[in-house]
Amino acid sequence: GGSRGGLPGQVRELAAELNGLKDGILKDFSADLQALHLQLETVAGPAAREALALDLDQRSEARMAAMWTELKGHAEVAAERADKLERQLATRVEKVETSFADFMAKRKSEKELETRLKEVLKQMEWLNWRISWLEWATKGEERGFSRPIEDKAVLPMPPSETAAATAFAQPLTEDVELWAREPRAGSRQRLRRNMQVPLVVPGSADGTPCGGRGLRAGPARRLASSHG
């Protein structure tokens, strides 16, 4: 921005200097003409007038040549400065374009890396969940169901069956410990036995339970017989 603003200012300064130089030369030239006119008026004879006219022409040509040489030098200096500024501006624009292209390429690579990292994290999370589920499905009865289970393996509903995971269409709920695995039948519910303790009527001497007649065995024996 500063280079563009400085070049027109320099051109205006150069034009002002040239105008001042031209005005000065014209003033000097007019003064010389007036002096020559006075000399022509005072000097008599055509020979003297021709000599004065020739002298005037030589002076004017010398001054015009000097002015042209000076103008040519100023123009060459201004052209050289303009070329230099143009080259510098082109170099700066090229550097800015290169930096912007590098920045966009780096940003694109970082975005791709972030996307791949997210995909890898999802795959690792899926593998951890699958390993936990398979571990429970294959060795759950051997290790016992009292061990802690992965939080992600305990879902409110079983996962859907897919082409990559055909074994997931099995019952898997929060009551997962109530299911047992059999080699033939697959999964089955664990049996729940009704452990009912017979009600003993307080105050009876022989310990007869409520609803039982003629049984004189103790509570422990009756409990064992009910389980058998």
Residue 41: per-residue pLDDT: 65
**Same-domain status, 157 and 88:** no
Higher pLDDT, 157 or 32: 32
Q: Under DSSP, is residue 180 helix (H, G, I), strand (E, B) or coil?
A: strand
**Same-domain status, 103 and 175:** no
Torsion of CA 45, 46, 49, 54, to 10 degrees: -150
Average pLDDT over residues 96-119: 89
Residue 165 lies in a domain: yes
Domain range holding 94?
2-110
CA distances to 31, 127, 167, 169 from 162, in Å: 109, 15, 9, 9
Residue 197 lies in a domain: no
- The domain total for the chain is 2
- Chain segment 170-201, per-residue pLDDT in tens: 544 444 555 555 666 555 555 555 556 566 66
**Same-domain status, 131 and 98:** no
**Same-domain status, 21 and 87:** yes
Residue 6: per-residue pLDDT: 60
**Same-domain status, 95 and 143:** no
Residue 212 lies in a domain: no
Average pLDDT over residues 41-64: 76
